Structure 1
Amino acid sequence: MENKFTFRQFWELSEIYTAPLNLFLILMGVSIAMDQFDWGISLDLFLYGLILIIFHVTANIFNHYMDYKNASDQHYREVTNVIGREKLSLKFVRNLYLICLFIAFLLGVWLVLRTNIIVGILGLIGFYIGLFYSYGKHPLNSLPIAEVLTGTTSGFFIPVIGFYLAIDGKIEVTPFMIFEVFILCLPLSMMMFNNLLANNTSDLEEDVKNGRKTLVYYLGKKTAVSVLLIVFAISYLLLPIFVFLGIAPWPILILFLFLPKSIQGLKIYQQKQDKATTFPIVLKTMSLVMIGYPLLYFIGSLIHQL
């Protein structure tokens, strides 16, 4: 490493600014438990949140590391990837993610010892997908299943563990409960899917140069954008259905107040898929649901308790 490692470099390498989204995913699971069953905020939930943030940082550092090593496009290595652009030492980056991974693993073991093996199994699946997203000869981020697999893992696995920890052994968790959590978390999984789809749509040319054949490679940009818009529409249509069925509180419908602005932003993205200018619009649009949905569900759960 030629220069001193700065916080700005860590900020970009770890993408820690996206880590708080994990806390809203946990909030979703807690809110479902709060709305329908007995629940309680415990040390286990705080420990789980800490593990997620550290592992989120670990996975992002590791992804940048592997993308740099696997890249065949010189421009990507020297200009696009933060490691090459900032001239960071590969050894330093590797050691950094190994330290973070070790800390997350130790905290994960502690959480499993405090709870049970079910939490451990779900956690290991999450660890595996997070690390193998960019590892190996054919990493997940170069395959057409990456969007669906990662979206489901983040949008469902994180909330369901939060739900399980919030229940805290007060009642027996049944397969039907888990299925209901899965259904209620579909809007979150869909938004995660859309984020990855938009990212890969914007990076299509660069991905092709580096040998990545994502879902967008097979769909084409035009179809990928259409899929994104359809998935976005379905996620919003689910909200009134949840309320009508009585499985979600009415405050989640407040999200519809922001729908016109979201549609306006997506129309701009539909015209041009660019990583620097229009992709951030998609991130903001999807993040609105990923933050607003759990938050409004939580508020509704509080109202239900009154």
Structure 2
Amino acid sequence: MSVKVFLELVEFKAKTASVLPFLIGICYSWYHYHTIHLAYVIIYFIAMFLFNMAVDILDNYNDYHHATDVHDYKEKTNIIGRENLSLKLVFNLMVGLIVVSALMGIGLSYFVGWPLLVMGLYCYLVGIFYSSGPRPLSSLPLGEFFSGFTMGFMISLICVYLNAYEQFEWNWPTLSAIFLISLPNTLWIANLMLANNICDLEEDEKNNRYTIVHYLGKKQSLHVFVGLNILAYLAILTSVVLHLAPVTTLGALFSLFVVYPQTKRFCQKQVKRETFICAVKILAVGSLVYVCFYALGLFL
């Protein structure tokens, strides 16, 4: 397996979806709790990254097995069939990544407490059943919620907990604050999945995958896509007003110069190979600018 094929198998280009929520968690930890446990968050980052790669391998693996014979998805679209990869090699690689990341997480929980085990277990269950089982989460009208909530909110929550576990309080004000600062990433990640499902509507239906787009229709789904982008910026404004983020975070509004035209372009045309990249750019630019201006406030 070449490096290029491996990177496509683990969908390396999509790793922005996990890295930037992690960085927002780092920023909030320092801004609100004034503490960073560098060793813990480095171990967590590695474990998170390995598991994220394993989930994407599992997604490709299950898509390959679940594909019907209605069209040539197996042979020409899925990376496993297209590159004629060994199923045994792919399976062993996936299991290896899951085991290593799980052991790292269990080791961390020994030092920071059992809440990490509970949060980690939730993330692992969502990651595994997102594309596994008789009715995978990704094939239901729940995929956008679970992907956005788990990657956008839970990654940030775990990061904050690791940095502040000695003083962390499990109450609604604490969780609501972390949810709000993670909400832009949560919505943009959900939108990435929504855009994917909009582009793949016909192919998904042929493979008996009935996502939320199947029930809403493309037109209404595009309205949701636009609405989630608007809500992301409202969340940024609210977090500053409530003093959960420094004033410099308002600079994230500059990303609108990229997000708006990309949103407009996607609404005009929904073709996977041509315009799905719009949702990727919205997530990457929106989240990156958000993190950068949040971090700038910490230095100033």
Alignment size in residue pairs: 299
Alignment partners' CA distance in 2, 1:204 and 1:194: 15
Relative to 1, partners in 2 of residues 1:37 and 1:173: Cα closer, same or farther, differing over 3 Å?
farther
- Deviation of 1:40 after TM superposition, in Å, equals 1.8
Alignment partners' CA distance in 1, 2:169 and 2:147: 28
More deviation, 286-295/45-54:
286-295
Alignment partners' CA distance in 1, 2:245 and 2:258: 24
The corresponding residue for 1:49 is 45
Percent identity of paired positions between Structure 1 and Structure 2: 32
Alignment partners' CA distance in 2, 1:187 and 1:300: 18
- Deviation of 1:244 after TM superposition, in Å, equals 2.2
The corresponding residue for 1:294 is 291
**Which runs of 5 or more residues in structure 1 are unaligned?**
none
Tell me, yes or no, if the aligned pair for 1:203 and 1:275 is still in contact at 8 Å. yes
- Deviation of 1:171 after TM superposition, in Å, equals 5.2
Matched, 1:211 2:208: yes
- Deviation of 1:46 after TM superposition, in Å, equals 0.5
Alignment partners' CA distance in 2, 1:171 and 1:120: 16
Matched, 1:239 2:218: no
Alignment partners' CA distance in 2, 1:54 and 1:88: 20
The corresponding residue for 2:94 is 97
Tell me, yes or no, if the aligned pair for 2:265 and 2:275 is still in contact at 8 Å. yes
- Deviation of 1:176 after TM superposition, in Å, equals 1.7
Q: Deviations over 1:109-155 (max 9, x none)?
A: 11111211101110110011011111011001100011012111111
Matched, 1:191 2:188: yes
Tell me, yes or no, if the aligned pair for 1:14 and 1:61 is still in contact at 8 Å. yes
Alignment partners' CA distance in 2, 1:298 and 1:261: 20
Amino acid of the residue matched to residue 162 of structure 1?
Answer: C
Tell me, yes or no, if the aligned pair for 2:16 and 2:284 is still in contact at 8 Å. no
Alignment of 1:210-229 (within 5 A): 210-229=207-226
Amino acid of the residue matched to residue 65 of structure 1?
Answer: Y
The corresponding residue for 2:257 is 260
SS of 1:92 mapped into structure 2: helix
Tell me, yes or no, if the aligned pair for 1:40 and 1:168 is still in contact at 8 Å. no
The corresponding residue for 1:166 is 163
Alignment partners' CA distance in 1, 2:170 and 2:282: 33
The corresponding residue for 1:136 is 133
More deviation, 277-286/15-24:
15-24
Q: Deviations over 1:212-243 (max 9, x none)?
A: 00000101111111110011012112222222
SS of 1:30 mapped into structure 2: helix
The corresponding residue for 2:29 is 33
Alignment partners' CA distance in 2, 1:220 and 1:239: 29
Alignment of 1:74-93 (within 5 A): 74-93=71-90
- Deviation of 1:78 after TM superposition, in Å, equals 0.8
- Deviation of 1:275 after TM superposition, in Å, equals 0.7
The corresponding residue for 1:61 is 57
Tell me, yes or no, if the aligned pair for 1:155 and 1:185 is still in contact at 8 Å. yes
The corresponding residue for 2:199 is 202
Q: Deviations over 1:165-203 (max 9, x none)?
A: 111414545442122101221111110110000000001
Q: Which runs of 4+ in 1 moved over 3 A?
A: 170-175
Q: TM-score scaled by structure 1?
A: 0.93
SS of 1:276 mapped into structure 2: helix
SS of 2:36 mapped into structure 1: coil
C-alpha RMSD over aligned residues: 1.5
Alignment partners' CA distance in 2, 1:100 and 1:92: 12
Q: Deviations over 1:63-91 (max 9, x none)?
A: 10011001114411111100110111111
Alignment partners' CA distance in 1, 2:42 and 2:193: 27
Q: TM-score scaled by structure 2?
A: 0.95
**Which runs of 5 or more residues in structure 2 are unaligned?**
none
Matched, 1:7 2:14: no
